[in-house]
Structure 1
Amino acid sequence: MISIGVIGYGYWGPNLVRNFQESHNTKVTVVSDLNSSRLDLVKSRYPTIETTLSHVELIEHPHVDAVAIATPVGTHFDLAMAALQAGKHVFVEKPLAQTAQQARRLIDEADKRGLILMVDHTFIYTGAVRKLKDLVQSGELGEIYYYDSVRVNLGLFQPDVSVIWDLAVHDLAILNYVFHQQPVSVSATGMSHVPGKPANVAYLTVYFDSPMIAHINVNWLAPVKLRRTLIGGNQKMIVYDDLEPSEKIKIYDKGIEVTNRESIYQTLIGYRSDDMYAPKLDTIEALRREAEHFAQCVEKNTKPESSGEAGLYVVSILESASRSLSQRGIPVDVI
């Protein structure tokens, strides 16, 4: 049984505590938070879990094997580094760090100490996204042309990061997991409509060294909540709607057929439209699967699917996107 210490019991911390506590191979030993009223909630719901106002006390706890961090992005690096240096495995809420340099330092520290570093890219543990990966990797869609996502809602405004760092993280993690393509550059435009706060509306375009292009629309000022993605291939196309209670993925046998003549001006485009079907998806809670996967990686010393390197992939794009955003959309190389 792996003993978990959870730092942060605000918005996401309760979900981590519940899943690590209910998983068959982990238990939560201690929770820390700077707000004593939040700790009172822990005590009322989980009488056997210790609580503390000090994250240092949690990290140094002799019975804690791994530390889960659910705190603001600006604290991730320091907390994760302290936990790794204390010999603890680390599970970090997305995004991994504020900069690619910080992410690389965490990866190096974990590797040096033989510890597991895992990022909470929750969506890649959903049945829907795992099915997307199967469909893409099997070649059923053919050559991938585009990934087009709309991820919008009214709020939740974050005080320390832009909407890019809050919502686009999910799509970037999905891109890395499903397609295995390295980004070349990114262009980002956006706007802040709250004085003194980061951008709340943004549009990202990610370019790859292939015919595929990814476009991501993120917004905290939408009147409705949308979580819809289109994936287009030259054989089949997908509509993935995460808010659908059933049939989250629909596969369309639609596309175009190009006939080349002797002259470029004689190129003909035909349209193909056949059946649509919705594959059956598993209904396992993503965070439960993720918690169990983390425990298995710790037990077997294997690399997580959302490893430190996956976190670096996302942070590198976010960092370049932020620079592009400040320059009104000028493409910035992803290094």
Structure 2
Amino acid sequence: MNEPLRAAVIGAGYWGPNLARNFRTSPHWDLVAVCDLDEAKAAKVVGPRSTVEVMTSTEALLARDDVDAVAIATPASTHAAIAMAALRAGKHVVVEKPIADNSADAQAMVDLADERGLVLMVDHTFCYTPPVLKIRELVADGSLGDVLFIDSVRINLGLVQPDVDVFWDLAPHDLSILDFVLPGGLEPVGIAAQGADPIGAGQTCVGYLTLPLASGAIAHVHVNWLSPTKIRQMVVGGSKQTVVWDDLQPQQRLTVYDRGVELGAEQPDKATTNISYRLGDAWAPALPEREALGAMVAEFAGAIREGRAPRTDGRAGLRVLKVLEAASRSLADGGRLVTGSTVEVSA
């Protein structure tokens, strides 16, 4: 139980080097191999004077008996095939978001992991950042009261993707956070997506996603590739307090406001209700400074050793993926609110 687990990273492109670095520096892990079709890329990640092996064959990697788990950082269209092969080989799996490029494949991954008794985890990185962990705590311990609304904005002058729209590119971050902080996960009763391609890029570049929740609360996500200003902000409004997360303010990422609207008794002579405004203090929780990926790989190890589901397990990835698919259906139907069985996201 005290010996480090042995990991391999598959994919040495954009995200793979970050995963490799965190597995290497974690006391819970021993990085034994990095695999990529481009040997030079993998060798660059490994670096000189290293005992970490460079490999180009996924099949050969999965046949090794000195690998307990693999981290998959390859294009989304390849996630399911690689993850299924790894699970069949008896390896625990963590895969970068999205878990797959369709929910049918994601469900098959979840089912196979359950069948084999293996950990399937999604690298929803933001869920391991100190601000999001604190928001989850404030919701769970009742500090905010009942969640009434969530507004999330993720906009900047970003790279227009050739293969996915702005919802599939940016919204998985916000949706994974909502799934992580809301009690019971993200289970909207409806999904409506409005979007536009004002520059003729061939993909939706500006998008608005509305998610009514079973509790009566509502969540709203705004994503945009075309904004000249960068905004990363989430507001979680509760019946007691409201927390604002501004990820571009490193000195004060979270602010909790003891402010809100309170309803009094209904007036006897008219169909109105007394409304009062609570104007209390605002305070900033102290947050530790640590890299989210370090916390993620530690959680992966903990889930394997303890035989439990990780905080962002395969089912969480599946719920996020189903919301994205429903958003695509809504967008194709002119922004109509998708409800009923077509929006079922429980996994």
Aligned amino acid, residue 319 of structure 1:
E
Partner of 1:106: 109
Deviation of 1:265 (Å):
3.5
Corresponding residue for residue 233 of structure 1: 238
Distance in 2, Cα, partners of 1:78 & 1:160: 19
Quick check: 2:106–2:318 contact (8 Å CA) kept in 1? yes
Q: Which residue of 1 aligns with 2:57?
A: 54
Moved more, 116-125 or 266-275: 266-275
2-structure distance, mates of 1:216, 1:136: 19
Q: Which residue of 2 aligns with 1:291?
A: 297
Alpha-carbon offset, residue 37 of structure 1: 3.2
Q: Which residue of 2 aligns with 1:175?
A: 178
Q: Deviations over 1:4-52 (max 9, x none)?
A: 1111111111110000111001122111223333123124256221112
Q: Is 1:302 aligned to residue 305 of structure 2?
A: no
Q: Is the 8 A contact 1:5 1:59 kept in 2?
A: no
Q: Would the aligned equivalents of 1:42 and 1:51 in 2 still touch at CA under 8 Å? A: no
AA in 2 matched with 1:77: A
Q: TM-score, normalised by structure 1?
A: 0.95
Aligned equivalents of 1:222, 1:133: Cα separation in 2: 29
Superposition CA RMSD, Å: 1.7
The alignment status of 1:200 with 2:189, answered yes or no, reads no
Please say if 1:270 is aligned against 2:276: yes
Contact 2:140 2:183 in 1 (8 A): no
What amino acid maps onto 2:189 in structure 1?
A: V
Native 8 Å contact 1:150 1:228 kept in 2: yes
| Contact 2:39/2:54, CA 8 A, preserved across alignment | no
1:190 to 186, 195, 199: 195
Partner of 1:224: 229
Question: TM-score when scaled to structure 2?
Answer: 0.92
In structure 2, distance between residues paired with 1:62 and 1:117: 19
Q: 1:312 aligns with which of 308, 311, 318?
A: 318
Aligned to 1:214: 219
Query: Shift in Å at residue 296 of structure 1?
Result: 1.5
Shift of residue 157, structure 1, vs aligned partner:
3.4
Alignment partner of 1:215: what SS? strand
Shift of residue 194, structure 1, vs aligned partner: 6.1
* Match runs of 1:42-191 below 5 Å: 42-44=45-47, 47-181=50-184, 182-191=187-196
Question: Aligned partners of 2:211, 2:289: CA distance in 1, in Å?
Answer: 31
* Cα displacement (A) at 1:330: 0.8
Deviates further, 50-59 or 274-283 = 50-59
Letter of the structure 2 residue corresponding to residue 240 of structure 1: W
Q: The residue matched to 2:41 in structure 1 has which SS?
A: helix
Name 1:13's counterpart in structure 2.
16
The match for 1:327 among 327, 333, 346 is 333
Q: Distance in 1 between matches of 2:27 and 2:94?
A: 18
Mapped to 2, the partners of 1:220 and 1:132 lie a distance apart of: 26
CA distance in 2 between counterparts of 1:291 and 1:127 reads 15
Q: Report the count of equivalent residues.
A: 335
Query: Using the alignment, how far apart are the partners of 1:244 and 1:264 within structure 2?
Result: 46
Aligned residues of 2:155 and 2:223 also touching (Cα < 8 A): yes
Give the Cα separation in 1 of the matches to 2:95 and 2:161: 18
Return closer, same or farther for 1:170/1:84 CA change in 2, 3 Å cut-off.
Answer: same
Contact 2:196 2:204 in 1 (8 A): yes
Distance 1:114 1:134 in 2: 29
**Aligned equivalents of 2:211 and 2:253: distance in 1?**
24
Amino acid at match of 2:331: L
CA-to-aligned-CA distance 1:170-197 (integer Å, 9 cap, x gap): 1111111111252211101112356564
Distance 1:82 1:276, change over 3 A: same
User: Partner residue of 1:2?
Assistant: 5
- Given that residues 84 and 110 in structure 1 are in contact (C-alpha distance below 8 angstroms), is that contact kept between their aligned partners in structure 2? yes
What is the rounded CA distance, in whole Å, between the counterparts of 1:79 and 1:127 in structure 2? 31
Shift of 1:237: 1.2
Structure 1 unaligned residues grouped into runs of 5+:
none
Q: Which moved more, 1:114-123 or 1:169-178?
A: 169-178
Shift of 1:327: 1.3
Cα deviation 1:271-321 (Å, max 9, x = unaligned): 121110001112221110110110111122111000111111111111111
> 1:183 is paired with a residue of what secondary structure?
coil
Q: Deviation at 1:61?
A: 2.6
